[in-house]
Amino acid sequence: MTSPSAGETLPVLDISRFDAGPQERAAFLAELRQAARGPGFFYLVGHGIDAGLIGEVLALARRFFALPEADKLAIEMVNSPHFRGYNRAGFEHTRGKPDWREQIDIGAERPALPADASAPPWTRLQGPNQWPDALPELKPVLLAYQAAVTDLAIRVLRAFAASLEQPEGVFEPIYTPAPNQLLKIIRYPGRDASSSQGVGAHKDSGFVTVLLQEKQNGLQVEGEGGWIDAPPLEGSFVVNIGEILELASNGYLRANVHRVVSPPPGADRLSVAFFLGARLDASVPVLDLSPALAAEARGVTQDPLNPLFREVGRNYLKSRLRSHPDVARRHHADLIEPASAQPEPASAY
């Protein structure tokens, strides 16, 4: 599946309708189910996140990527056992191939857990972020944005729960009080079309992803007839389903494959992706769906090269070890299996 899907577009949903009257709410939930059962991606408007904050995030992202390389490499991810910090283009991998993007990964600001050989390996994922001394303004703005988009992602998650005829807070036991948060500030440099992998085809690991796009096209979603282009839409985020919702709904909701195509030479693409996930010590339950919804559940995707685990920390650690082989070799050599050297699907998480 290589060609774009002619004429197919992602739906646009207004989340303010979720908190409107019963009629509007019911119509919104019906549209949400339809989007989830179709492309698994949609544009979200009516979100209420301050446009000034969004503008600050994009402007500071531009300033960070314009820093001298030495200033960016001062917070290179390979220095962090927690997979935080800056990566040069080609240093993150999907399906065993390098992604052509530079980026900075910011997680929740939490202290590292004490080293304990008897502790589950996923405990190594928790730890502090790396922040650039050359751009001190970045930290407060990104943490403010992370807090705002976390609240939005939880609203979306509550809407998904309601669309499955569940209590809105059904997922709270596995994300409170410390959800897994990851913010990726990403720049895709322009490159020749013969090497077009900005990010290879993959699925996301968490509950939902909330993506802010600047101006340049590049995101594509797998559809029935080809790749669906998802160009930037002013005032919106692109939201998609992650693997936790697929596991919890037995495939009624399904994480969908997507990719980013590199921009042409002379251009670049800026995006800010936020991934909301469950607590690392949690296990994903299977929801008790109504008979009507259960009859439409398609089961969890079975891919021997990318198995899904209900143990949340195990699933996230798997993805990070695959996606960042340099960090894995330096800090987690004891966790690397010989087979992991082979090209495998990995999430962008």
CB contact set of 71 (below 8 Å; sequence gap of 6+): 132, 133, 134, 135
Q: What is the mean pLDDT of the chain?
A: 91
Q: Is 2 exposed, middle or buried (0-12, 13-18, 19+ CB in 10 A)?
A: exposed
Q: How far apart are the first and last CA of the chain?
A: 23
DSSP track, 122-191:
GGGG-------TT-TTHHHHHHHHHHHHHHHHHHHHHHHHHHTTS-TTTTHHHHSS--EEEEEEEEEE--
Question: How far from the centroid of its chain's Cα atoms is residue 160's Cα?
Answer: 17
Q: Say yes or no to pLDDT of 279 above 80.
A: yes
Q: Tell me, what's the pLDDT at 103?
A: 96
Closest CA to 349 of 252, 206, 226: 206
Instruction: List the domains of the chain with CATH numbers.
Output: 12-341 (2.60.120.330)
Q: Is 295 exposed, middle or buried (0-12, 13-18, 19+ CB in 10 A)?
A: exposed
Please calculate the CA angle 220-225-227 and round it to the nearest 5 degrees: 10
* Structure confidence at residue 197 as a pLDDT band (50, 70, 90): confident
Q: Tell me, what's the pLDDT at 337?
A: 72
Q: Tell me, what's the pLDDT at 110?
A: 94
Q: Is 229 helix (H, G, I), strand (E, B) or coil?
A: strand
Q: Say yes or no to pLDDT of 193 above 50.
A: yes
Contact 344, 115 (CB under 8 A): no
Closest CA to 101 of 4, 202, 243, 11: 202
| Rg of the chain, C-alpha, whole Å | 19
Question: How far from the centroid of its chain's Cα atoms is residue 217's Cα?
Answer: 18
Question: How far from the centroid of its chain's Cα atoms is residue 282's Cα?
Answer: 18
* Structure confidence at residue 304 as a pLDDT band (50, 70, 90): confident
Percent residues over pLDDT 70 in the chain: 94
Q: Say yes or no to pLDDT of 280 above 50.
A: yes
Cα torsion for 57, 63, 66, 69, to the nearest 10°? -90
Amino acid type, 27? A
Cα gap 180→174, rounded to integer Å = 10
Instruction: State the helix-helix crossing angle for 138-163 and 51-65, rounded to 10 degrees.
Output: 130
CB contact set of 157 (below 8 Å; sequence gap of 6+): 171, 175, 207, 208, 276
Q: Say yes or no to pLDDT of 311 above 70.
A: yes
Q: How large is the average pLDDT for residues 290-305?
A: 90
Q: How large is the average pLDDT for residues 135-148?
A: 98
- Residue pLDDT, tens place only, 19-76: 999 999 999 999 999 999 999 999 999 999 999 999 999 999 999 999 999 999 999 9
Q: How large is the average pLDDT for residues 205-212?
A: 96
Q: How large is the average pLDDT for residues 261-290?
A: 96
Q: Tell me, what's the pLDDT at 341?
A: 44
Instruction: State the helix-helix crossing angle for 22-37 and 138-163, rounded to 10 degrees.
Output: 100
Q: Say yes or no to pLDDT of 338 above 90.
A: no
Q: Say yes or no to pLDDT of 349 above 80.
A: no
* Structure confidence at residue 196 as a pLDDT band (50, 70, 90): confident
* Structure confidence at residue 284 as a pLDDT band (50, 70, 90): very high
